[in-house]
Structure 1
Amino acid sequence: MATRLFEGKSHASHYQKYRLSPPQKIQDLILNYLGNRLKKPFGLAVDVGCGTGQTSRSLVPYFQKVLGTDISEAQIEQANHADGFPNLVYRVSAAEEIPAENASVDLITACAAVHWFDIEKFLKEADRVLKPCGCLAFFTYLPNMEVHYKHQSQQLTQVITELQDVLSPYVHEKVQHVISGYKDIFNAIPYTDKKRVENIDSKISMSLKDMLGLIQTFSMYQTFLSFEPEKAKDLVKTTEQRFLEIMQVSSSEEIIELRLNNVCVLASKPE
């Protein structure tokens, strides 16, 4: 069964506010891969482990119907509160039980999510619902984040590294899939038509406040918060203060650039 760490209402609210949409490079990579295997118009895409719907909404322009699924009722509730689209629906559902007919799905995506699933059961279920030549696309950003701001980038990135060191005892074992760049998940996919694309860089301009909000959505921070709530909150405050001092600014609305390194696993079901 999938690991369940993202179900609290407060966590879901943070997720909706601060989680990132997939980088355009990854969207283009997925759509080009799919377009070389299935003809347009694309029918149904299913975004599994959709959280509050960031990836689901990014798929809307390209598919006749998009279905976002998540095991968390709180996450789906937040997704439904976002801007609606006539071709997008959400359902509470385990990753291993996709609410779709046999051979009906063009594309299955999972953004920063597949490592939480029961991989063997999920891949069997994905095979059931995918059309012949339908595709899988699993992608995530890796832990080695960089923060850039004027000439203080090295110092700011060091602050993030130290924060991650504090959180390291609370990293779930399944996050090792991410640290390894989804190599074992790639190997588990039974299809021969597959590839793993590394070193997909993304640069996101955001406020310092939003970056700290993003960090608070991470599973290790939420685990730390559940065990040591005051220490977890103090960690965020201390980190914010360190950033402000290094940047020599007084407001957390100051814009920084967050640089991420992403990996994407793509695969296509045989004809």
Structure 2
Amino acid sequence: MKDNFSKQAADYSKFRPQYPEEMIQYIISFVDDKSTALDLATGNGQVAHKLSAHFKNVFATDISQKQLDNAIQAENIIYHKESAEKTSFANHQFDLIVVAQAVHWFKFEEFYKEIYRILKPEGIFAVLGYGLFFTNPDSDKILRHFYYDIVGAYWDAERKYLDENYETIPFPFDEIATEKFQNQFIWTFEELVGYLQTWSSVQHYISKNNQNPIDLIYEDLKLSWESNDKKVTFPLLLRIGKLK
């Protein structure tokens, strides 16, 4: 798994959108035993924290110590620094395993072999994510130019799985048909720019060009944002399965 997010871990914790409680409730509705859950590539721990209200124990892992240093704490969350493809957990330990906005970074064959090892036979596996957000038409025009034309070449190849709504990832499970979800926010301009700053493509652009690409659209985007409704909508991605 690549570590694209250590450098901006604090921003990631502050600006990345949360998943709605209704989506979390929907996922756990498929889980019979609420003893032990695992959040892989937990990042800032937002999903682990939501699960901690419903499970006796929640484990959460990430390869970035900086991400874990910024993670949300709770008495029943145990954080580990380790990869998703090779964990330290016991065979058939978990009732629920989730991975949010990260499965596209994994080595699929190794990862799914590990899921089959550590998930209970009757357990649930869920992949969560969110695609490119949309907003008012005027700001969308600027943001899509930014996404495709300015930083488009700086996305890792794995980004295509998100652009394809996780429909093309390998998914070797008995899949459960799911409802569709989306997430809506009202964002200040600071929150919008803060979120853009967490994009791995933006960080790659800065590293290569010694310039922040957001500066190229900053003034136009600010003018557009302040004169519109500031509403942001994220299409949410969800796939749920059980062991075959």
State TM-score, norm by structure 1: 0.83
Distance 1:75 1:117 in 2: 17
Distance 1:223 1:246 in 2: 26
Q: Deviations over 1:79-117 (max 9, x none)?
A: 1xx4x2110121101011223211110111111001101
For 2:131, the equivalent position in structure 1 comes to 142
Whichever structure has more helix as a proportion of its residues is 1
Are 2:202 and 1:224 aligned?
no
Contact residue 159 and residue 239 of structure 1 kept, 8 A: yes
Distance 1:108 1:242 in 2: 42
Distance 1:237 1:173 in 2: 24
Percent identity between the two aligned chains: 23
Are 2:50 and 1:58 aligned?
yes
In 2 relative to 1, CA 196–138 (structure 1 residues): closer, same or farther, beyond 3 Å? farther
Are 2:21 and 1:27 aligned?
no
Q: Deviations over 1:178-233 (max 9, x none)?
A: 11221232xx33322x1364752221222221121111111111111111132x2x
Post-superposition offset of 1:146: 1.2
Over the residues paired in the alignment, what is the CA RMSD in angstroms?
1.9
Aligned residues: 243
In 2 relative to 1, CA 244–123 (structure 1 residues): closer, same or farther, beyond 3 Å? same
The one-letter amino acid paired with 2:171 is I
For 1:16, the equivalent position in structure 2 comes to 13
For 1:150, the equivalent position in structure 2 comes to none
Structure 1 gap ranges (5+): 148-152
Which contiguous aligned blocks of 4+ residues in structure 1 show a shift greater than 6 angstroms?
A: none
Are 2:238 and 1:264 aligned?
yes
In 2 relative to 1, CA 248–111 (structure 1 residues): closer, same or farther, beyond 3 Å? closer
For 1:239, the equivalent position in structure 2 comes to 217
Q: Deviations over 1:221-265 (max 9, x none)?
A: 1111111132x2xx324433223323456xxxx982210112101
The one-letter amino acid paired with 1:189 is F
Contact residue 202 and residue 262 of structure 1 kept, 8 A: yes
Distance 2:221 2:162 in 1: 27
Are 2:75 and 1:92 aligned?
no
Distance 2:76 2:226 in 1: 46
For 2:103, the equivalent position in structure 1 comes to 114
Aligned residue for 1:182, secondary structure, equals coil
For 2:62, the equivalent position in structure 1 comes to 70
State TM-score, norm by structure 2: 0.92
For 2:173, the equivalent position in structure 1 comes to 191
Structure 2 gap ranges (5+): none
